Structure 1
Amino acid sequence: MCKITRHAIERAIERMNANSEKDARGRILSAFRRAKYIGNVEMAGRRPTRIFVDPLYKIILVVDANVDRIITVIKPNFSYVAPELFDDVVRMHLQRLEEVERTRAVKLDVIACEHPLIESELSVLDEKILRTQARLNALLARKAALETILNEDLAEIAELNRRQQLLVKSLAKVLPERGNILASVGNVS
């Protein structure tokens, strides 16, 4: 696993909208796992670095090639970045990523136009989804109605139990000799 410099963590907080150092470290590592290796760059007066580009965050990760350590995180539009970092390979790769995303969307549109069966199948699926959603909504409404009825029945049962308890107590006062038996019957239910 690659080490991360303090500078890289500070840049991630600033450039990747990380909330904390721990969040920044996590974002850097997840970006590094997704990143595509672009190539080596030797900047004047500095150690050789390896350049990686993460397509999700659209950032460049600069790794010190000698010690396998991420030394900074760069957004491609920052104007203060060393020009050596934006050599043709990095620019072309970023443009290629954006082009691939555009091409994928266009291909999906072309496929849908060239294959009317796909369009009709999608239409049939949309109709099925709408019917299923309508059935689900009807079932949810029935469930709510049944829950209301159940709650009313439970309230009625509670009221009947309360009345039964009162009746048992009344009978226990009127018939003292049979009161113990009746009281025990009332407690059973």
Structure 2
Amino acid sequence: MSKSKPLATAKKPLTPKADTAPAKIAVDDNQRLKEIRKLVVAHNQSKIDTNTIICQIYMESHFDAKAGLNKHSARGLMQMQEPAVKQVYKYRKKKELGRSPSDKQTDEAFAAGAAFYASPSIWDEVENIKIGTEYMQYWLETTSSIEEAYKKYRGKTNGVYYKKISACAKKLAANPDSMQILRDTLK
């Protein structure tokens, strides 16, 4: 048996192990903003305007569809958590029935929500935006104002979360393709 010859040989030196400085890569984040805008326009399940949802997504995940992966329980662009997803499934059942679901129907809805949360679909940008905005709509319909809905979404009562998102959305409406607004307003 003869020795195999390499298919090709490298002509450039390898990066030395001592070189640990991160490489800077130019990224057109304005393009990402345009992609997110299209997704929100097409899949927003709430009555909340597009710019507000975009600012919410940026504040939650910085437009990273895998935000939270192997780190914590909040998942995807809108950082959805299992109890929130289960609530959406129960809310769907209630709307379908026109009344509150029975205990058995609630258990079934919660099981379906838990299955979605545990599936790869939670990381899909379209599905995450749908479930996140549907959750926002649930809170819009069960609270007295959009500010209260955002307090419930975030689980905080001081209102700072919504104030930041609202201020950002107003600026973004005036300049819809500016990532700089998001970076400056939602640090």
- Scaled by the length of structure 2, what TM-score is found? 0.22
Greater C-alpha Rg: 1
Q: Which has more strand, going by share of residues?
A: 1
